[in-house]
Amino acid sequence: MTSTFRTTSSLDHSFDVIVIGSGIGGLVTATQLAAKGAKVLVLESYVIPGGSAGYFEHEGYRFDVGASMIFGLGNKGTTNLLTRALQAVNINLESIPDPVQIHYHLPQGLDLKVDRDYDKFLQNLIAYFPHEARGIRRFYDECWRVFNCLNKIDLLSLEEPRYLLRVFLQQPLACLGLAKYLPQNAGDVARRYIKEPQLLKFIDMECYCWSVVPASMTPMINAGMVFSDRHYGGVNYPQGGVGQIAQALAQGLEKAGGKIKYQAKVTKILTQKGRAVGVQLASGETYGGKRIVSNATRWDTFEKLLPVEKVPHNEKKWQQRYQKSPSFLSLHMGVKDSVLPVGTECHHIILEDWQEMMTPEGTLFVSIPTLLDPDLAPRGHHIIHAFTPHWIDDWQGMSAKEYEAKKEAAAWRIIDRLEKIFPGLDAGLDYLEVGTPRTHRRFLGRVDGTYGPIPRRKLWGLIGMPFNRTSIPGLYCVGDSTFPGQGLNAVAFSGFACAHRIAVDLGL
């Protein structure tokens, strides 16, 4: 290994754990360990915590960087991981229940709301596909069986043998149930019960809207979690915006004795005799720790923070199975409240042609968080956050003038589509900020602005997803590049698992 990645005798080893990045996965790892008495340091390159769960403010508006559809803030069961993470550091965050998870506006006149009440949702869906009533119930009921298994288990590290043994002895049927579903994908299960092509396309969209792949490539365990928890713990919006989750976790970390340092960009993971022992910042400062946790993507971790020629073999194999998901083109809009018809829901998904679901600007995601928390916008106004997948390659190699022109053209294409649902949007527009994959890469520090890994081909459920430990001793990964994948509640799960594994390794 090259000498620039070796440690020096002056390296400070005063921390038990150093976490690179303050995304939700990193913050949950840090707070869980600090609550157990570990000396923890979080290093964040930006000025606030949260990453894609952060926020920004302008002209009286407080915008969420990413989506506003939040799982994990419920108050019962074991899957309310964000609530549990906050409770671990004695923080309580008020949230607002959303009565409808999504209002779908889909091809062939499929206009459907996913009601928080499970039976009402099924009735809404069966009304469109009465001939598939039995299949609909059987598929979504099977999702509940997955969820019920998860909801009986204390969700911690699957890499810790004593935990696995204890959980199996306590809940053998739940463990066996999850083991059964581990290699399965949601699409395969759906096709056991359902034949109607349009209904199967709807289930593809049900998966795509959070996994960025169709049902045939979406792990059944993940689908069971999302499709059931929206009716169990529900979708709950944090009062003050999504950024309050990270702010609260950062506050709890410091209350528990941990430290967080902002504008601290890590450029190297330092190693000694092949073991991760510290980090170096862009400023040249170095920090040493017994354990190093990367909340960066696995691509950033193993190709930028470590020498690219030293990428471990198992990471290369992982990259053969998974690729970077697209980034997003985002419109953050402030609009007059007259734009929104009475009865408008908070979250919408718009698609005009099934064939375009996975193409750039095909599926359009919309969040209107001020319908739940009006204080995020000036009086008489609402926030509309519209975003759609885009690849960074389509935004490279342009002059500044060409780049701005392309942003403007793309923004008005999206506004024209939104006008069909929200007539008068153009006339009622008060503020507009456009972000591209280049924006996401710049502010979130994620390679190509990606929002996580997606399978290159159909895989066996979650079996190919790596856990927190890496082949480099002392180095762990957390976040959407680790089991169980994308989404705030999923990365919180990875944070619980990572902290548990490290706590055992440190003897805490």
What pLDDT is recorded for position 12?
Answer: 66
For residue 37, count other CB atoms closer than 10 A to its CB: 13
Residue 99, C-beta contacts closer than 8 angstroms, at least 6 positions apart = 115, 116, 345
Q: What is the helix (H) or strand (E) element at residue 269, kind and residue range? A: strand 266-272
Q: Are 28 and 493 in contact (CB under 8 A)?
A: no
Q: What is the CA radius of gyration of the chain?
A: 22
What pLDDT is recorded for position 5?
Answer: 40
> What is the 8-class DSSP label of residue 233?
I
Show the tokens assigned to 238. 């944090």
On the question of pLDDT at 370 being above 70, the answer is yes
φ, ψ for residue 421, nearest 5 deg = -100, -35
What pLDDT is recorded for position 459?
Answer: 75
Show the tokens assigned to 422. 């929200």
What pLDDT is recorded for position 13?
Answer: 67
On the question of pLDDT at 97 being above 60, the answer is yes
What pLDDT is recorded for position 159?
Answer: 67
Residue 51, C-beta contacts closer than 8 angstroms, at least 6 positions apart = 21, 22, 23, 24, 65, 246, 295, 444, 445, 446
What pLDDT is recorded for position 279?
Answer: 95
**What mean pLDDT value characterizes the chain?**
91
Q: How far apart are CA 330 and CA 365, in angstroms?
A: 9
Q: How far apart are CA 114 and CA 118, in angstroms?
A: 8
Residue 207, amino acid: C
Q: How far apart are CA 436 and CA 387, in angstroms?
A: 10
pLDDT interval class at 250 (50, 70, 90)? very high
> What is the 8-class DSSP label of residue 354?
G
What pLDDT is recorded for position 157?
Answer: 67
Orientation angle between helical segments 118-128 and 133-150, nearest 10 degrees = 150
* Digit-coded pLDDT (tens) for 213-249: 999 999 998 999 999 999 999 999 999 999 999 999 9
β-sheet bridge partners, residue 195:
none
Q: How far apart are CA 382 and CA 375, in angstroms?
A: 9
pTM (predicted TM-score): 0.91
What pLDDT is recorded for position 456?
Answer: 85
What pLDDT is recorded for position 309?
Answer: 82
What pLDDT is recorded for position 210?
Answer: 86
On the question of pLDDT at 211 being above 70, the answer is yes
What pLDDT is recorded for position 2?
Answer: 36
How many separate helices (H) and strands (E) can be counted in the chain? 15, 20
For residue 40, count other CB atoms closer than 10 A to its CB: 29
* Digit-coded pLDDT (tens) for 159-203: 677 766 777 777 788 777 778 888 899 999 999 999 999 999 999
The DSSP bridge pattern shows strands 322-324 and 327-336 to be unpaired
Distances, alpha carbon 307 to alpha carbons 5, 405, 450, in Å: 8, 38, 21
* Digit-coded pLDDT (tens) for 413-443: 999 999 999 999 999 999 999 999 999 998 8
Show the tokens assigned to 210. 């959070």
The DSSP bridge pattern shows strands 40-43 and 259-261 to be parallel
* Digit-coded pLDDT (tens) for 287-331: 999 999 999 999 999 999 998 888 888 888 888 888 899 999 999
In a 13 Å sphere around the CA of 148, the CA atoms on its Cβ side amount to 8
Sheet holding 110-115, edge to edge: 110-115, 100-106, 347-350, 364-367, 381-390, 327-336, 429-435
Q: How far apart are CA 245 and CA 168, in angstroms?
A: 32
The CB-based long-range contact list for 125-129 (8 Å cut-off, 24+ gap) reads 125/202, 128/199, 129/196, 129/198, 129/199
What pLDDT is recorded for position 176?
Answer: 79
Return the beta strands (E) in 80-228 as ranges: 95-97, 100-106, 110-115
Place of tokens 């040249």: 284
Average the pLDDT over each of 47-56, 81-90, 164-173, 202-211 and give the range with the smallest value: 164-173
What pLDDT is recorded for position 501?
Answer: 93
What pLDDT is recorded for position 7?
Answer: 40
Residue 348, C-beta contacts closer than 8 angstroms, at least 6 positions apart = 102, 103, 104, 105, 365, 366, 368, 421
3-state helix, strand, coil in the chain (%, to 5): 45, 20, 35
For residue 407, count other CB atoms closer than 10 A to its CB: 19
* Digit-coded pLDDT (tens) for 448-498: 989 888 888 877 666 677 889 999 999 999 999 888 888 888 899 999 999
What pLDDT is recorded for position 269?
Answer: 95
What pLDDT is recorded for position 10?
Answer: 58
Place of tokens 């921390």: 15
State mean pLDDT over 97-117. 96
- Calculate what percentage of the chain has a pLDDT beyond 70: 96
The DSSP bridge pattern shows strands 327-336 and 429-435 to be antiparallel
